[in-house]
Amino acid sequence: MKKIAIQGIEGSNHHIVARSYYGETVALAPCLSFDALVDALLSGDSSHGVMALENTIAGSIIPNYALIDAHNLYITGEQYLNIHHHVMALPNQQLADITMVCSHPMALLQCKAFFKDYPHIQLVEDVDTAAVAKRISEEQLQGVAAIAPKVAAAIFSLEILADNIQTIKNNATRFVRVQVEKPIRVAENVNKASLKLELDHQRGSLAAILNVMSDCNLNLTKIQSLPKITSPWKYAFFIDVTFQEYAAYTKARTIIQLMASDFKELGVYKNERT
């Protein structure tokens, strides 16, 4: 049976995505950090992992791009999840009784506006949304609430004090499925690729790459720069492209490999955003 590494525990958004794709009975390996998730893959404890990569409000999760690159992980798919944040606490309490709300920094950022009406509540960063809900339940913490997915309230017997408190209601996160080994065969119906490349500091070098993509009918859907720690003021580019014909993509890939000083295919998979 596949064991899927997720950031967080049961009741987290990563848990929701993993069960949605792999099924309700899949074995999960909860990890309280993305570094631990990568370690679970590298050690062989888990065969696959689910990683958040970007959010419509908070933007790219840049450290995760670096992790995928540094450890040569391969992206085999993606999934988009609409994010709903809820305030939950032990039963028989109201928001007026809550003095502290704990959650993942990303969740707190996405709900900041809601708490302007509750200045008596202290916002505290924690490692995971669902982990806070679990701790409140296990330790019977009165006056403390979590921001977490609604499923966490059901799992840990908490009550919802406020529904859908995210500042922007159209809030979604893109997750990717990663593994250590590159698949031997290209999956069927692939139409998206994630690439990493580096370019010399020359005028028009990035524009030339983009022209190749355009000439080969690739659609650029994402470009993210990341500083090279070992080379100050130099950057790597992480790029997502979609395409209709795999042959057109492979032609562009061959040309870009010749033009870039460093090139890596991070994954070829099906575009799940329609």
Residue 274 pLDDT: 63
Separation of first and last alpha carbons in the chain:
31
Report domain extents, the chain. Answer: 3-81+171-179, 86-162, 192-269
192-269 CATH, one of 3.30.70.260, 2.30.30.90, 3.40.50.740, 3.40.50.150: 3.30.70.260
Residue 29 pLDDT: 96
Rounded to an integer, what distance in angstroms lies between the CA atom of residue 33 and that of residue 200? 34
Residue 142 pLDDT: 97
Residue 1 pLDDT: 58
Rounded to an integer, what distance in angstroms lies between the CA atom of residue 49 and that of residue 266? 14
pTM for the full predicted model:
0.90
- Same fold for the domain at 3-81+171-179 and the one at 86-162? yes
A 10 A CB-CB count for 123 gives: 17
Query: Domain 86-162 belongs to what topology?
Result: D-Maltodextrin-Binding Protein; domain 2 (3.40.190)
SS3 assignment for the chain = CCEEEEEECCCCHHHHHHHHHHCCCCEEEEECCHHHHHHHHHCCCCCEEEEEEEECCCEECHHHHHHHHHCCCEEEEEEEEECCCEEEECCCCCHHHCCEEEECHHHHHHCHHHHHHCCCCEEEECCCHHHHHHHHHHHCCCCEEEEECHHHHHHCCCEEEECCCCCCCCCEEEEEEEECCCCCCCCCCCCEEEEEEECCCCCCHHHHHHHHHHHCCCEEEEEEEEECCCCCCCEEEEEEEECCCHHHHHHHHHHHHHHCCEEEEEEEECCCCC
Q: Which residues contact 44 (CB under 8 A, 6 or more apart)?
A: none
Residue 28 pLDDT: 94
Compute the C-alpha angle 33/106/111, nearest 5°.
Answer: 150
Rounded to an integer, what distance in angstroms lies between the CA atom of residue 207 and that of residue 156? 52
Residue 177 pLDDT: 97
Q: Judging by DSSP bridges, how do beta strands 159-162 and 86-89 pair with one another? A: antiparallel
Residue 96 pLDDT: 95
CATH number corresponding to 3-81+171-179 = 3.40.190.10
Residue 234 pLDDT: 79
Sheet holding 159-162, edge to edge: 122-125, 100-103, 144-148, 86-89, 159-162
What are the Cα distances from residue 80, in Å, to 77, 171, 202, 214, 222?
11, 10, 36, 26, 15
Residue 221: which of 188, 259, 264, 269 has the closest Cα?
Answer: 269
Residue 232 pLDDT: 75
Low-confidence ranges of the chain (pLDDT < 70): 1, 274
